[in-house]
């Protein structure tokens, strides 16, 4: 956890001032029992009004000063903790955005959200409590022991023994609690995951009458979290009563020692001071046990956050090659590529070359590996074996920011952020209105023209106020607006009708004749005009060539074609002879 305190940044000064306020407050508080004991000692035989007033005003002054110091300490603790929380979240979010796809896949999106929110809040609370009361409790305990030694060294060993027993019990229980709370956090990740699945897929759930089943699934997940939380709570709840038992036993020990020694120097005034210091220690220990609970939970959170921060970012994200030879004959080259998300390959022995300005069509069924293949082009992932080259340069050698500046992707699922259409297309890039309008025209997003606001039409959260096809066309326009050298449409027109799909294809050819395009689809119609078509099954290329060539040479392609165009007459005699 100590590695995370570097995120205090510039507000270390606030933390130091907060601790200093609490230290001074503690020192002044420790003098109160001494003043009280001295007053009792001097007025036990004869009451002196003047002495009572002097000591009373002195104690009142100390209390007022301590109130002011407590306010200052609270302010600086709040300032330090909020600064820490912001710095940690900024660093964590920045690091997550630098992670490779495989790094994100390993942890999971629901867990990343929990770590960025709940876990960082737990650590922010630790900073707040540490500055506010964390060091005050040890100051009080140590100061009380010193005061007791000064008053009477005979009783001091009783204090030391009590402190040792409490510290030992806290350490033993905290170690066990840390493991329990780590399991609790994993259960919380599961709740976030189930909730996210149901919220994003609410229409699918209702359409298939799965509400009762999903409610039961969530209830089971929440029940598991409840059980884990109760186990953790029951275990950590032992800290407080154990500490209370030890301290109260210590008070009894003081009285017993005082009685057994029969030392006349231990007066009632000193015993009053001893018991007062013991009660101060009691309250300090109560604070420490509560802090121990907070620290135990935060320890699990710090381990989860460190797990992210220790992940290496995408290689060559900020360095590497930043130039390409646009005169290179081939824009895309796959050489004996093997790839998998785990030990099992999803792509095997993929090899092909696409010249600059050509269109590559990739056809295959669900789960055949189409998206995995195109994700290797902008280096979202790297192959396990073989190489992927863009304009003659291996993707492992590129500065990835540079590579992705000229390789644009319109993914399967069109994600359109809320705000205006212009903001969604520009996506933080400095693009003119003319560039955005041109991209919308090429993407056949003519529905924008029918809106009075035009490109300043407001898109709602999750883009619920536009259709699936409209979202896809905006997604394509966003990819085109970057003026890329390579454009990947990963089944990005699946929600488009055939006429719009054909118009989009013709528009791309007309306005971007030198653009290298990669079209991924399950529909033969969408890729049949491509210069090169790859038929992929189970992660392996089973056919490569033009539409006419594949009809004659690839059985799988022909079966897909005839199933999608049943009225088409193919000369089967020629096909059979070709196959033989």
Same domain, 299 and 396: no
Percent with pLDDT over 90 in the chain: 13
As a whole number of angstroms, the distance between CA 437 and CA 429 comes to 15
Would you say residue 291 has pLDDT above 80? no
Would you say residue 568 has pLDDT above 70? no
Strand partners, 355: 330
Q: Which residue has the tokens 């189970």?
A: 538
Mean pLDDT of the chain: 80
Which residues have a Cβ under 8 Å from the Cβ of 485 and sit 6 or more positions away?
326, 331, 391, 406, 407, 515, 516
- Residue 322 within a domain: no
Same domain, 89 and 176: yes
Would you say residue 261 has pLDDT above 70? no
Would you say residue 576 has pLDDT above 60? no
Would you say residue 279 has pLDDT above 90? no
Would you say residue 254 has pLDDT above 70? no
CATH number at residue 90: 1.20.1560.10
Which domain, by its residues, includes 59? Answer: 2-309
Q: Where does the pLDDT of residue 167 fall: very low under 50, low under 70, confident under 90, or very high at 90 and above?
A: low
Same domain, 339 and 277: no
- Residue 567 within a domain: yes
As a whole number of angstroms, the distance between CA 317 and CA 399 comes to 5
Burial class (CB in 10 A: 0-12, 13-18, 19+), 94: exposed
- Residue 75 within a domain: yes
**DSSP codes joined into one string, 111-169:** HHHHIIIIIHHHHHHHHHHIIIIITHHHHHHHHHHHHHHHH-TTTHHHHHHHHHHHHHH
Q: Where does the pLDDT of residue 577 fall: very low under 50, low under 70, confident under 90, or very high at 90 and above?
A: very low
Name the nearest CA neighbour of 19 among 82, 75, 65, 84: 75
pLDDT digits (tens, 9 = 90+) for 62-74: 889 888 888 888 8
CATH number at residue 350: 3.40.50.300
Look at the chain and report how many structural domains it folds into: 2
pLDDT digits (tens, 9 = 90+) for 397-427: 888 888 888 999 988 888 888 888 888 888 8
Burial class (CB in 10 A: 0-12, 13-18, 19+), 31: middle
pLDDT for res 373: 93
Would you say residue 316 has pLDDT above 60? no
Q: Where does the pLDDT of residue 578 fall: very low under 50, low under 70, confident under 90, or very high at 90 and above?
A: very low
Burial class (CB in 10 A: 0-12, 13-18, 19+), 334: buried
| Length of the chain measured in residues | 580
Q: What is the largest CA-CA distance in the chain?
A: 128
- Residue 467 within a domain: yes
Helix (H) or strand (E) holding 23: helix 12-43
> What average pLDDT does range 245-269 have in this prediction?
63
Would you say residue 4 has pLDDT above 90? no
Would you say residue 52 has pLDDT above 90? no
End position of a domain, from candidates 309, 344, 360: 309
Please state, in angstroms and as integers, the Cα–Cα distance from residue 47 to each residue in 50, 52, 58, 270, 499, following that order.
9, 8, 18, 18, 105
Q: Where does the pLDDT of residue 338 fall: very low under 50, low under 70, confident under 90, or very high at 90 and above?
A: very high
DSSP E strands, 55-94 = none
pTM: 0.64
Stronger pLDDT, 286 or 258, i.e. the higher one? 286
Least confident of 36-50, 256-270, 373-387: 256-270
Same domain, 263 and 393: no
Q: Where does the pLDDT of residue 579 fall: very low under 50, low under 70, confident under 90, or very high at 90 and above?
A: very low
> What average pLDDT does range 539-564 have in this prediction?
90
Contact 136, 291 (CB under 8 A): no
Least confident of 42-56, 82-96, 109-123: 42-56
Same domain, 85 and 148: yes
Which residues have a Cβ under 8 Å from the Cβ of 101 and sit 6 or more positions away?
375, 380, 381
Please state, in angstroms and as integers, the Cα–Cα distance from residue 172 to each residue in 57, 236, 291, 482, following that order.
45, 11, 15, 59
């Amino acid at each position: 956890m100590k590695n995370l305190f570097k995120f205090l940044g510039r507000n270390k000064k606030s933390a130091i001032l907060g601790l200093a306020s609490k230290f001074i407050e503690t020192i002044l508080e420790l003098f109160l029992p001494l003043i009280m004991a001295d007053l009792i000692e001097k007025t036990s035989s004869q009451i002196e009004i003047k002495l009572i007033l002097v000591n009373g005003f002195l104690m009142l002054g100390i209390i007022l000063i301590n109130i002011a110091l407590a306010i200052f300490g609270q302010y600086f603790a709040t300032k330090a903790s909020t600064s820490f929380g912001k710095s940690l979240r900024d660093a964590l979010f920045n690091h997550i955005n630098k992670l490779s796809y495989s790094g994100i896949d390993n942890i999971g999106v629901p867990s990343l959200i929990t770590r960025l929110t709940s876990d960082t809040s737990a650590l922010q609370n630790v900073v707040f409590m540490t500055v506010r009361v964390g060091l005050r409790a040890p100051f009080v305990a140590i100061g009380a022991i010193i005061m007791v030694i000064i008053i009477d060294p005979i009783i001091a060993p009783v204090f030391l023994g009590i402190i040792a027993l409490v510290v030992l019990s806290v350490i033993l229980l905290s170690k066990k609690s840390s493991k329990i709370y780590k399991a609790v956090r994993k259960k919380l990740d599961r709740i976030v995951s189930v909730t996210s699945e149901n919220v994003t897929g609410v229409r699918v759930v209702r359409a298939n009458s799965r509400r009762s089943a999903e409610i039961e699934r969530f209830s089971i997940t929440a029940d598991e979290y409840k059980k884990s939380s109760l186990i953790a709570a029951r275990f950590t709840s032992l800290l407080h009563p154990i500490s209370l038992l030890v301290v109260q036993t210590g008070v009894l020990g003081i009285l017993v020692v005082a009685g057994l020694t029969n030392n006349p120097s231990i007066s009632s005034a000193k015993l009053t001071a001893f018991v007062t210091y013991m009660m101060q220690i009691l309250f300090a220990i109560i604070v420490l046990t509560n802090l121990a609970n907070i620290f135990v939970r935060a320890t699990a959170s710090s381990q989860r956050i460190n797990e992210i921060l220790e992940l290496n970012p995408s290689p060559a994200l900020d360095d590497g090659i930043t130039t390409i030879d646009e005169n290179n004959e081939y824009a895309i080259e796959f050489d004996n590529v093997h790839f998998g998300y785990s030990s099992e390959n999803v792509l095997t022995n993929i090899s092909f070359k696409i010249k600059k300005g050509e269109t590559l069509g990739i056809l295959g069924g669900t789960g055949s590996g189409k998206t995995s293949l195109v994700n290797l082009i902008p280096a979202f992932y790297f192959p396990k074996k073989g190489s992927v080259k863009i304009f003659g340069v291996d993707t492992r050698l590129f500065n990835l920011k540079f590579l992705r500046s000229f390789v644009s992707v319109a993914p399967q699922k069109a994600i359109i952020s809320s705000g205006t259409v212009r903001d969604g297309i520009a996506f933080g890039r400095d693009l003119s209105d003319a560039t955005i309008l041109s991209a919308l025209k090429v993407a056949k997003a003519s529905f924008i023209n029918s809106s009075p606001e035009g490109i300043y039409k407001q898109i709602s959260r999750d883009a619920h106020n536009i259709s699936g096809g409209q979202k896809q066309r905006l997604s394509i326009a966003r990819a085109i607006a970057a003026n890329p050298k390579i454009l990947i449409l990963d089944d990005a027109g699946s929600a488009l009708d055939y006429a719009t799909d054909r118009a989009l294809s013709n528009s791309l050819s007309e306005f971007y004749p030198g653009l290298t395009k990669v079209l991924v689809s399950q529909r033969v119609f969408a890729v049949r005009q491509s210069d090169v078509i790859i038929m992929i099954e189970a992660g392996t290329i089973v056919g490569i060539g033009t539409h006419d060539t594949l009809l004659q040479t690839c059985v799988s392609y022909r079966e897909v074609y005839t199933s999608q165009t049943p009225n088409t007459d193919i000369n089967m005699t020629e096909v059979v002879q070709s196959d033989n």
